[in-house]
């Protein structure tokens, strides 16, 4: 009996000692902040005002402030709002959805910011269940604006309802915070490791293009530079062409064999060439863009449907076609047509349902990116277009 008590006492003493030792390893919040500060201080970021592509009213200032606070808390050096406003007024910056070369040079020279964070709001709905979709990218400043990091999030309050609806998010602010936390976390991870490549294994097969063509002119061993043009918008959704462009920029950036030109640079050159693309670029347009942007490929397309729904009932819908033109051959080397609805392939209890067009378009464009780089000679289409001449 005595021996068992002494054994218990020994265990207690050991546990207490180990607890004391472990408490020495903890650090206070202030220490974490200081550590993060020393980590991120080398890279200074300017946060551009949020670009609203949602076509609805949204609390843009609030989103911007919340994002700035999150990055400040993580210890990143964010350029002060006043300094940025002065810079924007001095340089007459009105477009905040991208950055061109002269602006990137001026930003580096005048403010010392090494990167600019460009965020676009794609969807904001505060009716129950709330929905939000954001795409954010970090572009380097200086002589050559390059996309360093890009991430997008699309959430609906009823994405994961759980048992008895315990997982439902009914407060739009809570959903917004969740989305911003994810973006800030991803950016923090990138700035720590300086790498970002996404695993493409988890993409649903149902989001593959319904018909596609890939020419064997495309060399899988070569690294290409691609310029993505805004998609021709034939949908009822405002700014759907720009939204689709961002999806493709994000998907292509994740691929190692493709370098994506910053959309702000492409936009500046389109304006400089006074090029209005109504149906898609002609070969003469493509030649001019290849030369001025020093690109190997031009991606263009048409968006027929890009629809989110309000409330609980409905289905998100995305329908588009994409074409890739190659510089040397002046030919279409990849072409695809994709369309999906949020409840495609859903049989029971809404399993596998996608509630936002953003989440769906993201998977659809990633699969297209993957198919462009696939080594197979020709990607098989659906029944009736077997890839062989009959």
Residue 280 CB, shortest distance to another protein, in Å, is: 3
Residue number with CB closer to another protein (186 or 335): 335
Burial grade of 99 (CB within 10 A; 0-12, 13-18, 19 or more)? buried
Residue 310 CB, shortest distance to another protein, in Å, is: 22
Token duo for residue 292: 């001025």
Residue number with CB closer to another protein (148 or 228): 228
Residue number with CB closer to another protein (162 or 384): 384
Residue 186 CB, shortest distance to another protein, in Å, is: 34
**In angstroms, rounded to a whole number, what is the distance separating the alpha carbons of residues 36 and 25?**
17
Residue 247 CB, shortest distance to another protein, in Å, is: 18
Helix (H) or strand (E) holding 297: strand 297-307
Token duo for residue 49: 């005002």
Residue number with CB closer to another protein (163 or 389): 389
**In angstroms, rounded to a whole number, what is the distance separating the alpha carbons of residues 46 and 41?**
13
Residue number with CB closer to another protein (39 or 210): 210
User: What is the 3-class SS of 227-275, one letter each residue?
Assistant: EECCCEECCCCCCHHHHHHHHHHHHHHCCCCEEEECHHHHHHHHHHCCC
Residue number with CB closer to another protein (131 or 247): 247
Residue 59 CB, shortest distance to another protein, in Å, is: 33
Three-class secondary structure of residue 374 per DSSP: coil
Token duo for residue 296: 């190997």
Residue number with CB closer to another protein (18 or 380): 380
Token duo for residue 171: 């407060």
Residue 388 CB, shortest distance to another protein, in Å, is: 7
Bond into 129 cis (ω within 30) = yes
Residue number with CB closer to another protein (30 or 279): 279
Residue 49 CB, shortest distance to another protein, in Å, is: 33
Residue number with CB closer to another protein (66 or 212): 212
Judge contact between 139 and 145, C-beta under 8 A: yes
311: left (phi over 0), alpha (psi -120 to 50) or beta: left
DSSP single-letter state for residue 149 = E
Residue 271 CB, shortest distance to another protein, in Å, is: 18
Q: For binding to another protein (CB under 8 A), which residues are involved?
A: 210-213, 234, 277-286, 300, 302, 304, 319, 321, 323, 325, 331-332, 335-337, 339, 378-379, 381-390
Residue 387 CB, shortest distance to another protein, in Å, is: 6
Judge contact between 233 and 245, C-beta under 8 A: no
Token duo for residue 380: 């098989």
CA 235-317-322 angle, to 5 degrees, is 60
Helix (H) or strand (E) holding 303: strand 297-307
Judge contact between 355 and 169, C-beta under 8 A: no
């Amino acid at each position: 009996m005595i021996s068992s008590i002494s054994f218990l006492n020994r265990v207690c003493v050991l546990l207490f000692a180990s607890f004391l030792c472990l408490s020495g390893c903890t650090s206070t919040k202030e220490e974490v902040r200081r550590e993060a500060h020393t980590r991120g201080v080398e890279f200074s970021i300017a946060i551009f005002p949020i670009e609203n592509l949602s076509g609805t009213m949204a609390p843009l200032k609030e989103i911007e402030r919340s994002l700035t606070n999150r990055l400040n808390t993580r210890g990143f050096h964010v350029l002060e709002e006043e300094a940025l406003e002065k810079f924007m007024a001095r340089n007459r910056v009105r477009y905040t959805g991208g950055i061109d070369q002269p602006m990137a040079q001026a930003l580096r020279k005048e403010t010392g910011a090494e990167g600019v964070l460009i965020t676009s709001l794609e969807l904001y709905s505060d009716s129950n269940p709330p929905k939000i979709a954001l795409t954010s990218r970090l572009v380097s400043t200086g002589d050559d604006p390059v996309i360093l990091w890009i991430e997008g999030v699309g959430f609906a309050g009823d994405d994961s309802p759980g048992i008895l609806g315990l997982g439902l998010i009914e407060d739009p602010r809570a959903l917004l915070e969740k989305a911003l936390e994810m973006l800030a976390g991803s950016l923090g991870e990138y700035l720590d490791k300086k790498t970002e490549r996404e695993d493409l294994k988890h993409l649903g097969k149902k989001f593959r293009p319904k018909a596609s063509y890939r020419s064997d002119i495309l060399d899988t061993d070569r690294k290409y530079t691609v310029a993505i043009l805004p998609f021709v918008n034939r949908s009822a959704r405002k700014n759907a062409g720009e939204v689709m462009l961002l999806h493709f920029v994000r998907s292509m950036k994740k691929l190692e064999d493709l370098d994506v030109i910053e959309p702000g640079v492409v936009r500046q050159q389109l304006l400089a060439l006074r090029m209005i693309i109504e149906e898609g670029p002609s070969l003469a347009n493509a030649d001019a863009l290849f030369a001025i942007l020093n690109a190997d490929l031009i991606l263009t397309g048409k968006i027929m449907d890009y629809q989110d729904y309000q409330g609980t009932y409905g289905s998100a819908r995305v329908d588009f076609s994409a074409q890739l033109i190659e510089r040397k051959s002046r030919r279409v080397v990849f072409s695809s047509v994709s369309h999906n609805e949020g409840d495609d392939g859903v049989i029971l209890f809404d399993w596998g349902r996608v509630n936002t067009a953003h989440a769906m378009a993201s998977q659809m464009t990633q699969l297209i990116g993957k198919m462009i780089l696939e080594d197979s000679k020709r990607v098989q289409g659906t029944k009736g277009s077997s890839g062989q001449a009959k």
